[in-house]
Structure 1
Amino acid sequence: MTLLLITGVVLVLVSITLVGMAIAKPQAQGVHRSIAVLEAMSTAPSELTEELNQPFSERVLEPLQARALKIGKRFTGADSSDRIRRKLDLAGNPRNLTVDQIIAGKVIGAVIGLALSVGVTALLGTSFSLRVVAIAAGVVIGFMAPNLYLYQSAYDRSARLQRELPDAIDLMTICVESGLGFDAAVQQVAANTEGPLAEEFARVLREMQIGQSRAEALRALADRTNVPEVRSFVSAMVQADSFGIPIAQVLRVQSSEIRVKRRQRAEEKAQQVPVKITIPLIFCILPTLFIAVMGPAAISIMENFKG
């Protein structure tokens, strides 16, 4: 019995050892293989690892944008670059977009619109004619999406410029009357305020620092906007600089005129409210009112006739 017990214990220990070796061997091989791969990557020539070390935008997005740009230039007109650059200036160059990115975005948007329209019409199971119309609409909307984005950005920016200009002129008037020059007053507005008007004034100062005259920098500001008040302000400042008129007096007059125009614009919008509310009143409010008022009476009349 003792011999059998010793033999059994030895066999159990041997089996445990063999199982441990079998489990540890693949793990060791896997570790050695991973180490070998890392060593090969670290010792590989730079020409082989350069492509893998590039970010996703350089490996995929930039070649895709280049191909889309080539296709987009074939479908856009010769003067499309100037028109897009003008729209970018009016929109304040959002997200540092360029003309080439907008043209490439048109092609990419058209492809995305095509894919979405095909997928949606396939899921809904529409007829062939309706599917063709939906696909054409998706392509057109995707192609025009960058233009719509620029238009909305330019509209919002113009509205902010129009709203911020009176306060900026008041601040400049206070600075000039306290003894500062016009350039220093513009710098105070650019430093102490936020928004597109402060950015434009900061750009005017930078252009003056690189050698442009004050009149040229202000005219460039007027060219980058389509707000009548800004153009009027720039024209008055250029004339005052040319004829030697006191800047404080011109600023005070401009502030008064712009505030009058803003009051008149608010009154105009208030007078447009009754006209604009007519359509929702006719098609949304009155039908529900008729249903709530005349519905019970119509139901009771129909029941009486049936009786």
Structure 2
Amino acid sequence: MNNFLEWLGLSQSLLLSILVAVAVFTTFMTIALPILSGNEFKNRMKAVALERDQMRARERARLSIERERSRGGLRQDAGKGLAVTVVNKLNLRHLLADDKTVRKLKVAGLRGQRQLTIFLFLRAALPGVLFAVTLLYLLGLGFLADKPLSLRLLICLGAALFGFYLPNIYVSNLAQKRRQSIQRAWPDALDLLLICVESGVSIEAAFRRVADEIGIQSVPLAEELALLCAELSFLSDRRAAFTNLSERTDQEGIQAVTTALIQAEKYGTPLSQAIRVLAQENRDMRMNAAEKKAASLPPKLTVPMIVFFLPVLFAVIIGPALIQIMHLG
């Protein structure tokens, strides 16, 4: 160990100082980040309010532009910058973006043209960045110098391919987390919605009340319900607002509720009984998912028990006997 430190030009005191500095910095960031991050619910609700204002502006622009037989004003201003320039120059919206990509970003909570532009820019830029970094690390710094050049170039190409799919992986993970949060809080939201509907509150006011109350349990669900209230207020077709909610959340339980809401809007069917049945079904689905996850724990714990627990157990049981045998010998 000392020879390795001398080869690096480091002393034990300097190494200890570096470790202490890293520990202090990590402790400070652990304490400071929750304080500096602020209230996530307030920040997301502020973003929803901004989205509602933009929706109001778009609807007003649509009404005025329809008189002039032009729809150019409906597009959002993406702004100027490196990402916008690269996306426009390379025509990445036509090459990499389609309806499925936009829907995937909506499910992940990334709405608007700016998020789409950044996503496309990262898909175009990350392969080159990771390829250059890997090439510098392998060829410039001499890592894996004993390996063939073809193998090192193949690793660089693999890093570039990983960079191309890295934004998709991030968006998929973000969408999965949002779906889990919405799925856990949706039965409780339906119970609150049922109470509001049975008390005689209109559906818009009921969703607004549920959005205010459910934010403590699930910020993504509160955000989606707030957007639903905004769309119910500004869109000419109320059924489109319910359809947009099911597309943004990508949940079977929410799709069933939106279908019931559309049928109640169209045929005037009673809504409270349908919500009560759907709330129980969603609660059963949540319980089944929890039971399925609990049933899958024993096979998952087999490998950690073999690797980590059994060697320690054997050392505790056999260790004293081995020590006695060594002393006797």
TM-score by length of 2: 0.64
Find the counterpart in structure 1 of residue 141 from structure 2: 123
Is the contact between residue 66 and residue 104 of structure 1 (CA under 8 Å) also seen in structure 2?
no
Distance, in Å, in 1 between the alignment partners of 2:111 and 2:259 is 27
Question: CA separation in 2, counterparts of 1:298 and 1:70?
Answer: 72
Out of 245, 259, 262, the residue aligned to residue 283 of structure 2 is 259
Q: What SS is found at the alignment partner of 1:98?
A: helix
The residue that corresponds to 1:162 in the other structure is 183
Mapped partners of 1:197, 1:212: distance in 2: 23
CA separation in 2, counterparts of 1:193 and 1:167? 8
Q: CA deviation at 1:303?
A: 11
Match of 1:67 among 86, 91, 108: 86
Paired residues of 1:157 and 1:196 also in contact (CA < 8 A): yes
- Give the aligned residue type for 1:208: L
**TM superposition outliers: structure 1 runs of 4+ over 6 Å:** 295-304
Which of 154, 166, 181 does residue 202 from structure 2 map onto? 181
1:236 corresponds to = 260
Could you say if the C-alpha distance between residues 247 and 275 of structure 1 is closer, same or farther in structure 2, counting changes exceeding 3 Å?
Answer: same
Match of residue 100 from structure 1: 117
Match of 1:222 in 2: 246
Q: Does 1:91 align with 2:108?
A: yes
Q: What is the identity percentage for the equivalent residue pairs of Structure 1 and Structure 2?
A: 32
CA pair 269-64 structure 1, distance change in 2 beyond 3 A:
closer
Q: For 1:147, give the aligned amino acid.
A: N
Alpha-carbon offset, residue 158 of structure 1: 0.6
Q: What's the offset of the Cα at 1:107? A: 1.7
Distance 2:272 2:155 in 1: 59
Secondary structure class of the residue paired with 2:235: coil
Amino acid at match of 2:195: I
Aligned residue pairs, count: 244
Query: Are the equivalent residues in 1 in contact too, given 2:179–2:251 (CA < 8 A)?
Result: yes
* 2:81 alignment partner, SS class: helix
- Aligned counterpart, 1:54: none
Q: Relative contact order, CA 8 A, sep 6+: which one is greater?
A: 2
Match of 1:22 in 2: none
Return the offset for 1:294.
5.4
Q: CA deviation at 1:292?
A: 5.5
Relative to structure 1, is the Cα distance of residues 214 and 146 closer, same or farther in structure 2, using a 3 angstrom cutoff?
Answer: same
The separation in 2 between residues aligned to 1:227 and 1:234, in whole angstroms, is 11
Which has the higher Rg, Structure 1 or Structure 2?
A: 1
Letter matched to residue 81 of structure 2: E
Contact preservation (8 Å) 1:72, 1:104: no
Structure 1 residue identity aligned to 2:137: V
The question of whether the paired residues in 2 share the 8 Å contact of 1:182 and 1:247 is answered with no
**What is the Cα deviation at residue 79 of structure 1?**
6.5
Corresponding residue number in structure 2 for 1:147: 168
Alpha-carbon distance in structure 1 between the residues aligned to 2:88 and 2:121: 4
Following the alignment from structure 1 to structure 2, what is the Cα–Cα distance between the partners of residues 164 and 222? 15
Checking the alignment, whether the CA contact within 8 Å between 1:92 and 1:154 is kept in structure 2 is yes
User: Which stretch shows the higher mean deviation, 136-145 or 123-132?
Assistant: 123-132
CA RMSD of aligned residues (A): 3.0
Per-residue deviation at 1:236? 2.2
Judge conservation of contact 2:264–2:271 (CA < 8 Å) in 1. Answer: yes
Q: Which runs of 5+ in 1 are unaligned?
A: 1-57
The aligned residue for residue 202 of structure 1 is: 226
Q: TM-score, normalised by structure 1?
A: 0.68
The 8 Å contact of residues 108 and 178 in structure 2, kept in 1 or not, is answered as: yes
Q: Judge conservation of contact 1:187–1:201 (CA < 8 Å) in 2.
A: yes
Equivalent residues of 1:111, 1:139 under 8 A apart: yes
Matching residue's letter, 1:172? L
Q: CA–CA distance in 1 between the matches of 2:317 and 2:142?
A: 39
CA contact (8 A) 2:204 2:232 kept: no
Give the Cα–Cα distance (whole angstroms) in 2 for the partners of residues 135 and 223 of structure 1: 38
